[in-house]
Amino acid sequence: MFIRVRSCLNPHMDDEPVELPIDGVLDLHTFQPREVKDLVLDYLAECQRRGILRVRLIHGKGIGNLRRTVHALLAKHPEVKSFNLAGEQFGGWGATIAYLKPVEPEQARDE
């Protein structure tokens, strides 16, 4: 999966495509806040397409702005069955686990 992002770690790589592993874990620490919405939505769609229905989104603990953004996106997303803060072994309140609906058979045929 390639997504156009501007790396906050290397500003000289402006708009370079970055390949993200689609493994059910997305660490948002290295992305700009303005990139989070599209990134999360695209990542969830690709996970669902691949049958990865449990996704861990690492937003960090901080002051909670990124967590609130992620939770707002998940709450509105029609393909998210549920979500909750991760258990301590998976990041505690610094990560959220989202559970996606399986792809409907007619959705899979359309792709």
Q: Alpha-carbon distance 106 to 87, whole Å?
A: 34
H-helix segments, 30-83: 36-49, 65-76
Q: Confidence band (pLDDT; 50, 70, 90) for 5?
A: very low
Instruction: State the pLDDT at residue 85.
Output: 94
Tens digit of each residue's pLDDT (9 = 90 or more) over 11-66: 555 556 678 899 999 999 989 989 999 999 999 999 999 999 999 999 999 888 99
CA distances from 22 to 10, 11, 28, 45, 62 (A): 22, 24, 14, 10, 25
The token duo for 4 is 């156009």
Question: What are the tokens at 71?
Answer: 């939770």
All structural domains of the chain, each given as residue ranges with its CATH number in brackets, are 29-110 (3.30.1370.110)
Tell me: pLDDT of 8 over 50: no
